[in-house]
Amino acid sequence: MNTEALISIIEKTDSYKRFGKVTRVVGLMIESEGPAANIGEVCYIHTSTNDGNLILAEVVGFQNEKIILMPYREVNEVGSGCLVEATGNPLMVKVGRSLIGHVLDPLGKPLSDSESLPKGLTRYQTERKPPNPLSRPTIRQPLQIGVRAIDGFLSMGIGQRVGLFAGSGVGKSTLLGMIARNSNADVNVIALIGERGREVREFIEHDLGEEGLKKSIIVAATSDQPALMRIRGAYTATAISEYFREQGFNVNLMMDSVTRVAMAQREIGLAVGEPPTTKGYTPSVFSILPKLLERAGTDEKGSITGFYTVLVDGDDMNEPIADAVRGILDGHIVLDRKIAERGQYPAINVLKSISRVMNVIATDEHKQIATGLRTLLATYEENNELISIGAYKKGTNPEVDLAVSSYPKIVSFLKQGVYEQVSFEETIQMMRNLVE
């Protein structure tokens, strides 16, 4: 670097450190007079205890020339007049290949107090723009999911984004664990947003297992953490996935759940004065969803295949968040409570689910077999009441006769043990055998 460049940097450098001061704290919100900062910028709040303990907070809005901050953790030691220091930067996390196998918090730090971050990591910004639409290669290659119902009837492509729609307790976490273990992606990045505290360890030990953890990075933000931390969990997991995509990896990004991200944004929106709209959700909720979900997908170097779970209240598939997410993603997989109640796991309702890229990535033979079996399932469901009460007489309709005889075999194909591993080729062969 030459002398002129160094002099230019010195001239631009501000030799003063500027502070603001806290004027008001209301609920989730901290109001400060100064310093100059932008939306999304991270600030330090110097606590009144003067023990050198700094509280991280983020600028979320402005009101009457004052800045509105939200802290990343619960705060009791903030008082009127506490100093606020701007960092000049948005939230950054450290990323790298050595993170694989680790469990992190939304700020990218190890969740366990006994662990420390590996060395040789790169600093990476959590909020980034989605790739340019014209720079996204089209999805042409199928991705092995390792779940027969999905590989057979709802084939997914490398770089596709799909929603898992279900009520509570229908098996979303178990299905995510199966995908993480059985899929042939290079890396899994799993975001557990708004989960109960006990469920994090349960998911890691039971659903994911040692085999799944070996190629996974987990970002956990539990339900007791502030709304901002829950949102940051989603952004941090997406940023880590983007880093691996830039390295040329095929990444599985699994987020459980998008609904809790939307609820956290609603909390923030209401706190800064946004008007509530549909079911109390603020306009900012519906603006951040496409920005977050569009960051997954393909680019010139690698891909992020997205699996986003959506909690549907009272199994209502048309509630606002489910409706918005379904319109953004490239397909939806519906987990049905009625199917789960009769002991069929994973409880995927293939008739209500769709993969928007299956027609592009599947072979003609595969599509033909899947359509035929789907037709048999639909025929059985249409006549289910007549069959159940014994009102249907065999021989009345050849199509219904075939559906009745095939139904137990199709259901047996759709059932799969939690630790049962099946390759894509084995799934197609099993479907051929069903048809024959």
pLDDT band at 116 (very low <50, low <70, confident <90, very high): confident
- Could you tell me what percent of the chain has a pLDDT over 70? 97
What is the rounded CA–CA span in Å between residue 350 and residue 352?
6
Give pLDDT tens digits for 366-387.
999 999 999 999 999 998 888 7
Strands 54-63, 41-46: pairing kind: antiparallel
Cα distances (angstroms) measured from residue 203 to each of 53, 146, 154, 254, 311: 33, 18, 25, 13, 17
Angle between helices 227-246 and 258-271 (to 10 degrees): 130
Q: What is the pLDDT of residues 318-368, one digit of tens each?
A: 789 999 999 999 999 999 999 999 889 999 999 999 999 999 999 999 999
CATH no. for 365-435: 1.20.1270.330
Selection from 226, 213, 157, 165 nearest residue 187 by Cα: 213
> Per-residue pLDDT tens for 196-250?
888 888 999 888 888 889 999 999 999 889 899 999 999 999 999 999 999 999 9
If you average pLDDT over residues 128-150, what whole number do you get? 93
Poorest-confidence range of 175-189, 211-225, 296-310, 311-325?
311-325
Residue where the block lists tokens 């390792």: 146
pLDDT at 34: 78
Pinpoint the residues of the chain covered by CATH 1.20.1270.330. 365-435
Residue 50: strand, helix, or coil: coil
Alpha-carbon separation of residue 40 from 86, 276, 286, 288, 337 (angstroms): 11, 22, 18, 13, 40
**CATH architecture observed for domain 93-362:** 3-Layer(aba) Sandwich (3.40)
Q: Which of 83, 76, 78 is nearest to 33 (CA)?
A: 83
Model confidence at 285: pLDDT above 90: yes
Q: How far apart are CA 380 and CA 375, in angstroms?
A: 9
Residue 293, pLDDT > 90, answer: yes
CATH of domain 17-90: 2.40.10.170
Torsion sign (Cα): 137, 142, 145, 151: positive
Domain with CATH 3.40.50.12240 in the chain: 93-362
Looking at the chain, which residues constitute the CATH 2.40.10.170 domain(s)?
Answer: 17-90
